[in-house]
Amino acid sequence: MAYTPNLPGSARRHLVAADVLYEIEARRDVAGYLYGIATECALKAMMLEAGIRPLGNDRRRDDPFYAHFPELKTHLRDSQLGRAATTLMRFIEDPNLMNQWSTDMRYCRGEEIQADWVRRWREQARNIVSAIGT
């Protein structure tokens, strides 16, 4: 089944779910994962707001819309983005943005995900999701 993308809505939905799990101390590891997903969705929503469009299926490997942290930051830093992407680049240029976060963490033991990372990801996700349009 094909799903219709809604990046702003997805970012907000994952942020809410992450916040719920964050309150369950034993599941902050999962919250941390969802904070990263929410942040990625929000940044990709900002990409659309800035006029950036997904590449064709034959170029998915080079398409930031299909990248995850840390590669997503690299793709965007290397792009020639105009003034419409000022807010997006302000977040991307933060050297601490989503450090230690990776989709690979979904396979690890939860105790490997440090509490201070999750606290930082939570703050970053909230800031970035609140910066996207509707």
Q: Dump pLDDT digits (tens) for 23-76.
A: 998 999 999 999 999 999 999 999 999 988 998 888 988 899 999 999 999 888
pLDDT of residue 114: 96
- Average pLDDT of the chain, as a whole number: 92
pTM of this prediction exceeds 0.85: yes
Q: Dump pLDDT digits (tens) for 71-106.
A: 999 888 877 777 768 888 899 999 999 999 999 999
CA 25/CA 67 separation, integer angstroms: 29
What is the pLDDT averaged over residues 14-29? 96
pLDDT of residue 134: 66
CA 26/CA 129 separation, integer angstroms: 24
Bin 70: left if φ > 0, else alpha if -120 < ψ < 50, else beta.
alpha
Q: Dump pLDDT digits (tens) for 120-133.
A: 999 999 999 999 98
Closest among 53, 38, 6, 66 to 124, alpha carbons compared: 38
